[in-house]
Chain A
Amino acid sequence: QVQLQESGPGLVKPSQTLSLTCGVSGGSISSTDSYWSWIRQPPGKGLEWIGNIHYSGNTYYNPSLKSRLTISIDTSTNHFSLRLTSVTAADTAVFFCARVTYSSGHYYMDVWGNGTTVTVS
């Protein structure tokens, strides 16, 4: 079955760029009916959708982050990435990657990575 694994630095300095990668194993990132998503969760708080990408390269960003955000995909290595610029302490969170499945008109996040903690300090 498909598994996802986030990786990247756990500590980023304010004003710098946060970069994370999500590796996809057990399946192809180039599935037509799959989108690939980033979600974050600040300490002790709820979930925030960051954005999605399709293997075609189409991206869908949360408007609140759009000016600082780039999500990219590499089908040759089966991973996708997040880049968030000009970070502040408010960007400190656990970052999750997830697969979004599109099926019979529904979208749902059915596979999640374990999450990686990023602290901005």
Chain B
Amino acid sequence: KAGVTQTPRYLIKTRGQQVTLSCSPISGHRSVSWYQQTPGQGLQFLFEYFSETQRNKGNFPGRFSGRQFSNSRSEMNVSTLELGDSALYLCASSPPSLTGQYGYTFGSGTRLTVV
């Protein structure tokens, strides 16, 4: 079956702009999570959505937001971009239980560069 699809793969934006990233989870997965990965901070949890509701949120400013649609596809938005937002943004989908056999499936990410 198809994996987790993230678009776009690469993105260059200017400080102050906003950006929207998209994630299509594995068919049948209703949970979608977002992570930010930077060399300095590593992999950090942003938020998690299940059935269009945000269930969990990491420690990021309000400029980072997300949503999930009825087909489980998810988008995340970053407003008023800062240089420090340059990162690899990863989306992951998971079956109902984290302790299932296969765990999370991550996409290949969107590499965002803010200039």
* A and B assemble together: no
